[in-house]
Amino acid sequence: MPFKLGHQDLIILLLAISTMLILSRIVAELGKRFKLPVVMGELLVGIALGPTILGTLYPEAYDYLFPLATNPKVGYALDGIFSLSVIMLLFVAGMEVDLPLVLRQGKTAIYTGLGGMILPFFTGFAVAWWLPDVFGLHPEGQARLIFALFLGTALSISALPVIARILMDMNLFKTNIGMIIIASAMFNDLLGWLIFSFILSLGGNGASEMGIGTTIAWIIAFGAFMLFVGRRIINRVLPWVQNKLSWPGGVLAMSLGLCLVCAAFTESINIHAILGAFIAGIAIGDSVHLREQAREIIHQFVTNFFAPLFFVSIGLKVNFVENFDLVTVSVILVLAFVGKVVGASIGARIGGLNRNAALAVGFGLNARGAMEIILGTLAYNAGIIGKPIFVALVIMALVTSLTSGPLMRRFVKDNGEIKPSPDLR
Amino acid sequence: MSAMDYSKLKNRSSWPFETIGVAVAFSPRLENILSEAKILSRQFNASLILMHVGERTRNKEHKLSDLMQKVGLDEKTVRVVWNEGEPVQTLLYLCKLNVVDLLILGAMRKENVLQYYMGTLARKISRKAKCSVLLLTEPSIGGSKFKKVVVNIAESPKTIHTLDTAIYLAKQVCSKEIIAASETHQPGLAMTMADDNTVSEVSRIRKDIKEQAHDKLNELLLACQGGEGIDISEKQVAGKPGYAIRAFATSKKADLLVINSPDVKYGIIDRIFTHGMEYILEDLPCNLLIVHSRIQA
């Protein structure tokens, strides 16, 4: 019998997708009134529709609409859509990494970015390596190393979309501080996703087949090819695509097609598909020929179709009540706040900012948002972490995103200026 | 090279151009460059120094002397400096030593990939000079015309000096039009707008960004000196800094593009991940004046 969706399966699949899209949009719009991030609404919808609420209260309804375990055909179809969603999300995240901006901001952004990565990475790594019992885990050998590397990376990443939104709300978007925060977040994202791709390849069968050295060499070779050769080719082709082909169909097909080709390539060499998508995003987003309108269309398409599906799907897979562990959540929250705020602030101070500006930068970069959730989901799917740590990471992402703006306000005036600090340079 | 007294350079205004230096490279375009230098030194009432880095030979002396006579440069009033050493560093040293306000160099509009990454003399000097630099893309015996001048209004404390210098230059060379163009580029904006904004919110955000840029530009135009009597218009151009102004200058068929000197030291990495001034140096849209305001940004 051919493995294809039947009439009833298709109906269920379409109903599941439409339910996720419509409900997440309604909740996001309601959340907007309270200045809550969209991703929070999407997660709440997932929790409501998943095993946490619907699965507990109305298990038949949950099994009918989201038969991830009971109907493998619908389960595979949904899984394919969720995988595509995360690839697309990483692609648009890459599109916003503006490497020249990091260079333009100079040493302040580099020091801040490095500070915001090094301290959280090492605190996370150290706790996971020496005190895994805190999380109720006893990993040995390579599993211990992978877990420690993952926790370090998970704590050091930032969420550019949330940060950009906070900066806009605070009139800091176009200021020097705003640019430093944006550039540092980009720097964090770039390094963070590179390291995470490596960790994922360690976690799967890839690195054990290829060897760690070969995996690293492939990552560097692919990144170098795309950023040096790929970017030049894109810069040649893009003007022609935008001017000679249908608008915006041509540029959409080219961008998304390239994203999927690169994702397929990295997946085929046993490095996760997200790396290909992320690097393809950087190469396309960096092009001076990419029209702002094209950039917005790609963002709208991904943010309003793939992002809700992905973030709702998180709640569908995990029971947040059953897997909530206060100790794990508390430890991860403390590590996240201390590592990022202190690390980024120290970096900003070394980079020449005064105390209040450095603290504003530290709290700004503390927002983890959607990126942390994506990272946690991928690690959970790869078996690097269990459900309690995954739940803790999601909570940490939400708490850091919600508190980032109010905590920054302590150091920033309403007009976007930094409040004077005693040791103003 | 011995230690120098830089006190004459400190806080020295970027205009007027009292001393003009010319890098003499004995290229086929030397006659044209000397002719341009003569015309500009008259227009700015500046003294002229010709600087050659390399071996001083009879042949070269004769050739330079012949060319000076040919274009009408008086060998008694024009100083000629010969110095051996690494070309870029020596030329920069000579500029500082002689308190050069404006260094004139001939430059190709576009270089091949290898030349671009390795860096030619003109490009290297442009990145490092501690005085203003004028790159002439098509020097001519009759002198370049600077009728249409585009000034890049970047968000930097240097910009006011750059604008003042551009106005001074425009007056001296009888320019007809100055366009003060600011670049609007907001990394992360598309992502933020895609998130949860209604149509009216998106329009408001866009309008706010435009108005803020407009207000800043107006403030700057009000603060600049000696703008009376010159047609100065303003323009906002969207795109990545450096690339947007290059494209604008090209589309406007500008005769001269005026920009700030770089805030950071540019290296090979800045050419690989091209940004800012590197976009302009990569493919010069017209003659280029890099104003060094001698203040720290």
Collect all residues of chain B within an 8 Å Cβ-Cβ radius of residue A36: none
Is pLDDT of A212 > 80? no
Chain A residues inside the 8 Å CB shell of B275: 100-101, 103-104
Q: Quick one: closest CA in B to A91, which residue?
A: B191
- pLDDT on residue B132: 92
Average pLDDT of chain A, as a whole number = 87
* Strand pairing report for B287-291 and B132-136: antiparallel
pLDDT at A325: 92
Which residue intervals of A340-386 are DSSP H helices?
A: 343-350, 355-365, 369-381
Residue A295 confidence (pLDDT): 87
- Find the residue in A nearest to B196 (Cα): A38
Averaged pLDDT, A253-268? 93
Is the minimum CB–CB distance between B192 and chain A shorter than 8 Å? yes
- Does residue B4 contact residue B130 with C-beta atoms inside 8 Å? no
Q: Is the pLDDT of residue A424 over 50?
A: no
User: Which chain B residues contact residue A103 at CB under 8 A?
Assistant: 264, 269-270, 273, 275
Cβ distance A124 to A328 under 8 Å?
no
Please name the residue of chain A whose CA is at the shortest distance from the CA of residue B267.
A103
- A1, exposed or middle or buried, with CB in 10 Å at 0-12, 13-18, 19+? exposed
Once rounded to an integer, what is the mean pLDDT over residues A394-398? Answer: 92
Q: Which of B117, B127, B156, B191 to mutate to test the interface with A (most CBs of A within 10 A)?
A: B191
Chain B nearest-CA distance from A139, in A, is 39
Q: What average pLDDT is seen over chain B?
A: 85
- Which stretches within A157-230 are classed as H helix? 160-169, 176-203, 206-210, 212-224
Residue A300 forms contact with B (CB below 8 Å): yes
**pLDDT over 90 (residue A318):** no
Q: Tell me, which fold does domain B1-141 have in CATH?
A: Rossmann fold (3.40.50)
Q: Cβ separation of A303 and B194 shorter than 8 Å?
A: yes
The label of the residue with tokens 């690690």 reads A379
- Mean pLDDT value of segment B12-18: 85
Name the token pair of A306: 């793939």
Q: Hey, what's the torsion of the CAs at B186, B188, B191, B197, to 10 degrees?
A: -60
Q: What is the distance between the alpha carbons of residues A345 and B96, in angstroms, rounded to a whole number? A: 39
Least confident of A247-261, A406-420, B252-266: A406-420
Interface residue A375 vs chain B (CB under 8 A): no
Q: How far is A287 from chain B (nearest CA, A)?
A: 9
Residue A225 has pLDDT above 70, yes or no: yes
B1-141 and B145-285 have identical folds: yes
In Å, how far is A230's CA from the nearest CA of chain B?
12
Chain B nearest C-alpha distance from A413 (Å): 18
- Range ranked top by mean pLDDT from B155-164, B204-213, B226-235: B155-164
| Domain regions of chain B by residue span | 1-141, 145-285
What value does the mean pLDDT take over residues A155-170? Answer: 81
How far A148 CA sits from the closest chain B CA (Å)?
31
Q: Which residues of B touch A29 (CB under 8 A)?
A: 196
CA distance A327 to chain B (A): 33
User: By the 8 A CB rule, do A370 and B195 touch?
Assistant: no
d(CA A31, CA A244): 42
Contacts of A165 in chain B (CB under 8 A): 192, 195
Q: If we measure between CA atoms, which residue out of A184, A182, A194, A172 comes closest to residue A116?
A: A184
Q: Are B156 and A104 in contact (CB under 8 A)?
A: no
- Give the domain ranges of chain A: 88-409
H or E stretch covering B81: strand B79-83
Q: Which residues of A touch B191 (CB under 8 A)?
A: 92, 96, 160-161, 164, 299, 303
Surface-to-core class of residue A353, CB atoms within 10 Å of its CB (0-12 exposed, 13-18 middle, 19+ buried) = buried
Determine whether the interchain pair A161/B241 forms a contact, defined as Cβ–Cβ distance below 8 Å. no
**pLDDT (tens digit per residue) in A167-180:** 877 777 777 888 88
Closest CA to B258 of B295, B288, B227: B288
CATH architecture observed for domain A88-409: Up-down Bundle (1.20)
Q: How far is residue B268's CA from residue B276's CA, in Å, rounded to a whole number?
A: 13
Is residue A338 scored above 70 in pLDDT? yes
Please tell me the predicted confidence (pLDDT) of residue A161: 75
Distance from CA of B280 to the nearest CA of A (A): 13
Class of domain B145-285: alpha beta
A293 touches chain B (CB under 8 A): no
- At A425 the pLDDT is 40
Backbone torsions φ then ψ of B104, nearest 5 degrees: -105, 130
Mind listing the pLDDT tens digit for each residue in B139-194? 999 888 899 999 999 888 888 899 999 999 998 888 888 999 988 877 777 766 66
Give the mutation candidate from A165, A227, A425 for the B interface (greatest B CB count, under 10 A). Answer: A165
Which region, left, alpha or beta, applies to residue B294 given φ > 0 means left and ψ of -120 to 50 means alpha? Answer: left
**Whole-number pLDDT of residue A342:** 96
Q: Encoding tokens for residue A337?
A: 């706040």
Tell me if ipTM is over 0.85. no
Q: Do A100 and B275 touch (CB under 8 A)?
A: yes
> Taking a C-beta distance cutoff of 8 angstroms, is the pair A202, A142 a contact?
yes
What is the rounded average pLDDT of the residues A186-213? 77
